């Protein structure tokens, strides 16, 4: 069988790493020479640096973004008997983190235009047991901090941010990770700031939360062999921290590159709006860091999402779906009691969204190629239906 030629990959990490390969090797070598592979100096340095650029006080590195949520909630004293509001439209790690903390997840719907949590729906879900809300800064765009702070003040809730996709995102004068009491980040390799493996971090402005998180990630130990609470082994490796600290220097430029690419996508895709190809709305202007660039294949589009994805694959263009099944419809969590139809916006989006190639180094010509392939697929569907919208002509190759 002939291997499919990939003309435009979904992600190409080599374009990030090759220009700074020497710096990355030097960072690794420095750890090898010191030999402090667990909780070493490079970890402390990176924790402080990432907290500082994110506008908050403390950083605690852990083994994954999921652990950052689960242990972070525990560090904020959220657990059994507490309800935590979160969107149904998120990666399953958000939900798993709440469950691992021992709290009860309360799912709510999302906004159809931005795919972010619907705070009006969240307000209706509050009970006397509700202790916190987890706004997921999805695709690289923050939930409005101004609205979040007003919401939390009104209902006396903690804000615990899921910023796994929002490294250095900004909105309303805040950086992601600086809005609530704490925030969880992931350093999965494909993130805007990615490790060479798994990794995560909790950011917080509260010294007590930070100190408890330090204990929880290291067997609950306040000092060696003295364990003050049940913890676990979840430490960001010193090697990974050294790599991430070096890459952090380049993150602002990489984020600007992503924004430029997204702006080109917006411009090139604009003529396809009347054909039902609608980008997820950016309400953050230049504060959006575009971990993902996501479009909706709307009901008015003559081609369904699956067919479009198949045609793009045939053209050598890789795409993704983030996420094809909302949390409440995942088989593992039927015990939560949710049913199809409970969150109609999240369910509809899950059938329409499509993530296009997005990474620093994606060329202007590649963006044009992606959009032309979408336009060609849409145009072919119109022709099959004996329709011919004139406004597609300018983008069809």
Q: Are strands 277-279 and 293-297 parallel, antiparallel or unpaired?
A: antiparallel
CA dihedral 41, 45, 48, 51 (to 10 degrees): -120
Task: Yes or no: say if 111 and 90 are a contact pair by the CB < 8 Å rule.
Answer: no
Residues 6+ apart with CB under 8 A from 320: 10, 292, 354, 355
Q: Count CB-CB contacts under 10 A for residue 367.
A: 24
Write out the H or E segment, with its range, that includes residue 203.
strand 200-204
| pLDDT one digit per residue (tens) for the chain, 397 residues | 356 799 999 999 999 999 999 999 999 999 999 999 999 999 999 999 999 999 999 999 999 999 999 999 999 999 999 999 999 999 999 999 999 999 999 999 999 999 999 999 999 999 999 999 999 999 999 999 999 999 999 999 999 999 999 999 999 999 999 999 999 999 999 999 999 999 999 999 999 999 999 999 999 999 999 999 999 999 999 999 999 999 999 999 999 999 999 999 999 999 999 999 999 999 999 999 999 999 999 999 999 999 999 999 999 999 999 999 999 999 999 999 999 999 999 999 999 999 999 999 999 999 999 999 999 999 988 776 655 555 555 555 4
pLDDT for the residue numbered 397: 46
Task: Yes or no: say if 293 and 395 are a contact pair by the CB < 8 Å rule.
Answer: no
Domains within the chain, CATH numbers bracketed:
14-248 (3.40.640.10), 251-392 (3.90.1150.10)
Collapsed DSSP state (helix, strand, coil) of residue 233: strand
In angstroms, the CA 91 to CA 114 distance is 16
pLDDT for the residue numbered 383: 74
pLDDT for the residue numbered 1: 36
CA dihedral 293, 159, 245, 290 (to 10 degrees): 10
DSSP track, 299-348:
TTSSS-HHHHHHHHHHTTB--B-S-SS-GGG-GGGGGG---TTSSHHHHH
- Sequence length of the chain is 397
Task: Yes or no: say if 259 and 172 are a contact pair by the CB < 8 Å rule.
Answer: no
Taking Cα atoms as reference points, which of 227, 215, 244, 273 lies closest to residue 394? 273
Taking Cα atoms as reference points, which of 176, 175, 190, 162 lies closest to residue 89? 162
Which of the 8 DSSP states describes residue 126? -
Both tokens of 149, joined, read 């702070």
Residues 6+ apart with CB under 8 A from 160: 69, 72, 73, 76, 78, 84, 132, 133, 134, 180, 181, 182, 183, 184
Task: Yes or no: say if 149 and 130 are a contact pair by the CB < 8 Å rule.
Answer: no
Task: Yes or no: say if 308 and 297 are a contact pair by the CB < 8 Å rule.
Answer: yes
Task: Yes or no: say if 83 and 104 are a contact pair by the CB < 8 Å rule.
Answer: yes
In angstroms, the CA 95 to CA 51 distance is 25
The number of angstroms, rounded, from the C-alpha of 331 to the middle of its chain's C-alpha atoms is 22
Write out the H or E segment, with its range, that includes residue 262.
helix 251-269
pLDDT for the residue numbered 334: 96
């Amino acid at each position: 069988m002939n291997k499919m030629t990939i003309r435009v990959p979904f992600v190409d990490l080599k374009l990030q790493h090759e220009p700074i390969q020497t710096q990355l090797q030097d960072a690794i070598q420095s750890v090898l020479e010191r030999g402090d592979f667990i909780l070493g100096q490079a970890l402390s340095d990176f924790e402080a640096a990432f907290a500082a650029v994110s506008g908050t006080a403390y950083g605690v590195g852990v083994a994954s973004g999921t652990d950052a949520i689960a242990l972070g909630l525990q560090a904020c004293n959220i657990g059994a008997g507490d309800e935590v509001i979160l969107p149904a439209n998120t990666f399953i790690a958000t939900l798993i983190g709440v469950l691992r903390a021992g709290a009860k997840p309360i799912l709510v719907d999302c906004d159809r235009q931005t795919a972010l949590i619907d705070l009006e729906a969240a307000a209706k879900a509050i009970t006397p047991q509700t202790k916190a809300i987890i706004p997921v800064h999805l695709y690289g765009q923050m939930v409005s901090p101004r609205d979040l702070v007003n919401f939390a003040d009104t209902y006396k809730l903690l804000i615990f941010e899921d910023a796994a996709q929002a490294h250095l995102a900004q909105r309303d004068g805040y950086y992601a990770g600086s809005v609530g009491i704490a925030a969880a980040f992931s350093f999965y390799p494909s993130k805007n700031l990615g490790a060479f493996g798994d990794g995560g971090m909790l950011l917080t402005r509260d010294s007590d939360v930070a100190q408890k998180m330090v204990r929880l990630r290291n067997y609950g130990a306040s000092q060696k062999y003295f364990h003050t609470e049940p913890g676990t082994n979840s430490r960001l490796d010193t090697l990974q921290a050294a790599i991430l600290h070096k890459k952090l220097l380049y993150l602002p430029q990489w984020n600007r590159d992503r924004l430029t690419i997204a702006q080109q996508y917006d411009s090139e895709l604009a003529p396809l709006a009347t054909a039902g190809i609608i980008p997820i709305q950016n309400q953050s202007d230049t504060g959006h860091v575009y971990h993902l660039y996501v479009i909706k294949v709307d009901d008015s589009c003559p081609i369904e999402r699956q067919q479009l994805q198949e045609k793009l694959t045939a053209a050598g263009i890789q795409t993704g779906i983030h996420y094809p099944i909302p949390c409440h419809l995942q088989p593992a969590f039927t015990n939560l009691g949710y049913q199809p139809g409970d969150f109609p916006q999240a369910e509809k989006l899950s059938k329409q969204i499509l993530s296009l190639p997005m990474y620093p180094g994606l060329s202007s010509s590649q963006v044009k190629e992606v959009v032309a392939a979408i336009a060609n697929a849409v145009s072919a569907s119109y022709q099959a239906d004996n329709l011919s919208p004139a406004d597609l002509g300018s983008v069809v190759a």
